[in-house]
Amino acid sequence: MKISLIIPVYNESSAISACLDNLKCLRGEAEILFADGGSTDDTVAQIGGRYPVVTCPKGRARQMNAAATVASGDVLLFSHCDSVLPADTFEEIADAVGKDAAFGCFHIGFDYDGPLMRCNAWISNELRARRSHIAFGDQGMFFRRELFSRVGGFPDLPIMEDYALSRRLKRERIPLSVLSGRIITSGRRYRVGHPLMIMWRMLVLRCEFRLGADPQKIARRYQDIR
């Protein structure tokens, strides 16, 4: 079994160094690809020749799908540049897929501590992932290649492509495997205001998305709380 890790990037100069350090700590073998959406800073230069960089049109869904077409793995893992993967990432995924998992994610934690953030993590892990079978991109989503190809990859949306794909797989009754490892993701959006208000605004945007609101308008509003 071969795993391909795909990381979309766009002007990640401030985060790419920590990402590269994290990759050095991952045990086992895997193909690692960066999908660059046309960065104008030194993101690609910092990656250097250490890992292949797939150049593609900007947009997280487009970037991830473009890299997936050239990836050679039997399993595709997608992670964010500002997320820290656990050291045994590839081992956990291989074990889960060996037990017939076709779609999964990690538990999530935040680098921004506090009671509200711990509550946010609990809601994400226990209510959304385990009970509702919905995964988000900052949890490190992985798929068997044949499943990802069959559903056409991530829908070409400016936002919530991870949510949309999770909802589709839930409708098709594809179970979500929630791994025991914890991925640590950036809590930077929660520092721009009160965490509770940010959580509420994120919930409202997801509700509007489910009700069919224009994804472009949602994306513009989402930028205000990033």
pLDDT of residue 189 exceeding 80, the answer is: no
Q: Identify whether the C-beta of residue 3 lies closer than 8 Å to the C-beta of residue 93.
A: yes
**Single-letter amino acid, residue 120:** N
Strands 31-36 and 75-78: unpaired
pLDDT of residue 25 exceeding 70, the answer is: yes
| In 78-157, alpha helices (H) | 89-98, 115-122, 145-150
Tokens of 105: 């994610």
What does the domain layout of the chain look like in residue ranges?
Answer: 3-189
Q: Identify whether the C-beta of residue 20 lies closer than 8 Å to the C-beta of residue 47.
A: yes
Q: What is the pLDDT of residues 207-218, one digit of tens each?
A: 888 888 888 888
Q: What CATH number labels 3-189?
A: 3.90.550.10
pLDDT band at 70 (very low <50, low <70, confident <90, very high): very high
Q: What is the pLDDT of residues 118-166, one digit of tens each?
A: 888 898 999 999 999 999 999 999 999 999 999 999 999 998 999 999 9
Q: What is the pLDDT of residues 27-54, one digit of tens each?
A: 999 999 999 999 999 999 999 999 999 9
pLDDT band at 226 (very low <50, low <70, confident <90, very high): very low
**Among the listed ranges 86-90, 118-122, 192-196, which one has the minimum average pLDDT value?**
192-196
